[in-house]
Structure 1
Amino acid sequence: MNQSKPDPVPAYLLWVKDAPLFIDELNLGRFYDAALRPAFDEKAPVKLKLTEAMKEDIKNKYGAKGSAGLANWLSFIASSSVEVAAEHEKAKSRSEGSETEIVLQPIGTPHRQLEQLTIFYLLERPSQLLVGGPDDVLMWHQHSLGLSVPRPLVFIDLPKRSKIIPMAAEFVNGKVVTLFDKLLAGNGERPPKYNRDHKDEYWKWFDRNFDPDTALTALEEAATENGRIEWVDFRVPIGEIPNTLHLHIEVAGKYSTGTFGYRLIRRGEGHGLRIVGSLRDGPDVNVLALYEK
């Protein structure tokens, strides 16, 4: 007897069911409000439709894996309830023949907001849900996708050996510290000064001389002097140098330096990194969540 197989789940969707290394509660909440909150009633639910044709489009566009099934995955997220401000708020799914209705109730926890935001972009703004690796990031930049409004939601898979270079950070004491100028080469050579007319050589120098231990030490020493991080910027060389991906992470003093030192710089180089964020021109990404591999 033949049994129909469940609609497969795109691999990147599974990221949001992992515990994040970092999640930006403040900016994620703002993004969530801008995208999902109805204009005249912020407590009203958002109702989405998932048709068979949409399932096929998702499968063809993103690729898929897993056995839980796309509809089941959406149902699993949507049916999870949490307590917020002493009120039980949840989202639910209801099958209607070949069409599934997804009802997203307003919710206040960042992990659930990211899950609902992913569902919303997947079903309502599929052209602005961008998934890929370093080469795809360059293509998005070449096509000026970061200039669109609302901002694209991006899932970026950085491979192992990625060079996550700390550039600058602000700390809880209000001091902004540059870090790139402390990343000496193995022979003691200092980084060159930035020159827009010679930026190829500038970024090639950092790519050629990157050492995760040196980068980790620069960030840790700055934090020892100034306290926890408020925000931190990184550059990641991608494609042919001088192409770099700029990562802006707003920490708000809520995470230890080790999160952005060893677990980001060191493990990112050794194992790779998964990034969820909003895309800007650059290519720049405002990081909403980070996941380890």
Structure 2
Amino acid sequence: MEDPASSDSGRELPLSWLADAPLFIDGEQVTAFYDAVVMPEHKDGKISISTKDIRLSKTSTSGKLGTRARLTTIFPFLDAHISLEGSLGREKSKQAEKGGTIELHPIDNPHRQLVQLALHYAANLPSRVKYARDVVSLDDRDEAYVTDSPRALVFLDLPPGRAIIPLAAELSTGRVATVFDDLATEVAKTVRTLPPAYGPGTKREYWRWFSDNFDAISAMNVLERGIGDGGRARWVDYRVHVDDHALQLSLRGRGTFETGIFAYSMIRRGNKHGLRIVGTLKSGPGLNVLAVFEK
């Protein structure tokens, strides 16, 4: 069964997103995921993957290059070569036309591990990697798809104008600051209404109120005040709401990112310009965010 996440994008993936310095990256989670799914059994080992089935989203620099050539143009550090099996020239040419291979060597850099992780999924686990344009295609999904292993890897293209609602943050002191109630109070000063009482039958209406009345500056200010002088956040959770569709974003900063990344960059700039997010899908629906890239 084809899940909704692929309905608007087919199997083409925007791997070129990863050829950028991330706004946020959860290095610890990326490394653990890389070790579990990709890394060769031995530190000096390598994994060869075929590029013939990888479908890349078009880019302005792709031109008429084949997949292997495009990948090595975007990521020069990849060890790529044409696999020429067979003794006859005709057999070699036929094999070359089908594509080449890329060798993945063990690496300790989380950003490059994320590149290798994405390539491994694209080549070997195409049904477990999705390119979603907005959160709608990740809602109302097949629960069996979400809970299957390995976890689905998602490239989420979040467009401008989306309500990125901060929910809570754990500070370096250990205190958990819940901020959505403060956000409701702040927004109510302007719109002069309050959200409906939260309950089993009013969840959608409750969160729709936040989306309909969302103000990025107010949301940014509330999160900044919530974190305050509590030190750098260990984690911050958000809810992205579109009509009656929602997605929770979980960013585990582990005390290594400034408050401005979680507040100004994620909320205000994210609302104005959109975001490129790579993460693993979980029930809810939600994403454990591996990396965020600005537009």
Same fold (TM over 0.5): yes
Aligned partners of 2:136 and 2:246 also within 8 Å? no
Q: 1:154–1:278: 8 Å Cα contact kept in structure 2? A: yes
Residues 144, 281 of structure 1: 8 Å contact kept: no
TM-score (norm 1): 0.84
Task: Give the corresponding residue for 1:64.
Answer: 58
Moved more, 179-188 or 209-218: 179-188
Match of 1:95 among 64, 79, 82: 82
Letter in structure 2 aligned against 1:247: L
| Residue 233, structure 1, aligned to residue 237, structure 2 | yes
Contact map agreement 1:235 1:247 (CA 8 A) in 2: yes
Task: State the secondary structure of the residue aligned to 1:145.
Answer: helix
Change (3 A) 1:43 1:188: farther
Query: In 1, are the aligned partners of 2:249 and 2:287 still within 8 Å (CA)?
Result: yes
% of aligned pairs identical?
38
Structure 1 residue 205: Cα displacement: 1.5
Deviation at residue 199 of structure 1 after TM alignment: 1.0
Instruction: Identify the residue that residue 223 of structure 2 maps to in structure 1.
Output: 219
What is the CA RMSD across the aligned residues, in angstroms? 2.1
Secondary structure of the 2:220 match is helix
Stretches of structure 2 lacking an aligned partner (at least 5 in a row): 1-11, 84-95
Cα shift readout 1:7-55 (whole Å, capped 9, x = no counterpart): xxx56111000111101100000111111123x434421111233xx25
Give 1:42-191 correspondences, 5 Å limit: 42-51=43-52, 54-55=53-54, 58=55, 63-65=57-59, 66-67=62-63, 69-76=66-73, 79-80=76-77, 91-96=78-83, 97-98=96-97, 99-133=99-133, 134-138=135-139, 141-142=141-142, 144-183=144-183, 184=185, 185=188, 186-187=190-191, 189-191=193-195
Pair 1:13-2:22 in alignment: no
Which one of 193, 198, 208 corresponds to residue 194 of structure 1? 198
**Displacement of 1:286 after TM fit?**
0.3
**Shift in alpha-carbon separation, 1:182–1:128, aligned structure 2, 3 A:** same
Amino acid at match of 1:46: I
Deviating beyond 6 angstroms after TM superposition, the runs of 4 or more aligned structure 1 residues are none
- Alpha-carbon spacing, 1:143–1:123, altered in 2? closer, same or farther (3 Å): same
* TM-score, normalised relative to structure 2: 0.83
Which has the larger strand fraction?
1
Q: Is the 8 A contact 1:212 1:269 kept in 2?
A: yes
Question: 2:257, 2:239 → 1: CA distance?
Answer: 20
Q: Which residue of 1 aligns with 2:91?
A: none
- Assess if the C-alpha contact under 8 Å between 2:161 and 2:274 holds in 1: yes
CA distance in 2, matches of 1:267, 1:277: 19
Deviation by residue 1:152-204 (Cα, 9 ceiling, x = unmatched): 11000011101100000100010001010001222455544421222122112
Deviation of residue 144 (structure 1)?
Answer: 4.2
